[in-house]
Amino acid sequence: MLEIIVVLVILSIVAVGFSDTIFYGVRNYFFSREADQLAQKAQLALARINKELVDAKSISDADMSSVQYKQAKGDEYRIELSENAVNMRGINPQMDARPLIDGLAENNGGKNFLTYYKTGGGAWSPETDSINDLALIKVNIVLAFSGTDDLSFETSIAPRPLPVLPKIND
């Protein structure tokens, strides 16, 4: 009888340890699955923003939370951070705002959504600088994550400079 009780106690201790291992394994699986889904979502949004801004012909308005630009074919768009989403809307042609990504952390995790740099360093501004002086646009997206910390994603965009045509003297 004593042997049966000892075996049951040992089996219960092993079962508790084994159940904790299964619990942590399942929990980590769901955390990693959510993190992977958020990473894919951010990658798609950053790729779209890169596609839009790399060939911008001009930028008429730019700040930490938005950029308004014109494409080579003349269409004008605005990409902007609003509450917990990044939206793109058409200025010309008129187009309602459409989300590129949602689920952002509150106030984008305290990070600037957009930062602009000149060739040779320093901050770039559309009021004082030419589009050809724009060397780099850093885009930062912080997504809310149910895990420990929010997830931050960043990319750098190097806009293509407009060709400078030589002057022809008469």
Q: What φ, ψ does residue 27 adopt, rounded to 5°?
A: -60, -45
What local confidence, expressed as pLDDT, does residue 18 receive? Answer: 83
Rounded to 5 degrees, what angle do the CA atoms 79, 150, 49 make? 20
Does residue 91 carry a pLDDT above 90?
yes
Query: Is residue 91 within 8 Å of residue 78, measured between CB atoms?
Result: yes
Which residue has 């894919």 as its token pair? 40
Predicted local confidence at residue 100, as pLDDT: 95
With a pLDDT cut of 70, the percent of the chain lying above it is 94
Q: Which is it for strands 95-102 and 66-70: parallel, antiparallel or unpaired?
A: unpaired
The yes-or-no verdict on residue 166 having pLDDT over 80 is no
Q: Note whether 76 and 94 are within 8 A (CB).
A: no
Rounded to two decimals, the pTM is 0.81
Question: Does 170 score more than 70 pLDDT?
Answer: no
Give the residues across from 77 on adjacent strands.
Answer: 69, 90
Greatest Cα pair distance, the chain, in angstroms, is: 113
Q: What is the mean pLDDT of the chain?
A: 89
Distance CA 17, CA 9 (A): 13
pLDDT tens string 47-57: 999 999 998 88
Mean pLDDT of 161-166: 62
- Count Cβ neighbours within 10 Å for each residue of 128-155 and write b for 16 or more, e otherwise: ebebebbbebebbbbbebeeeebbebeb
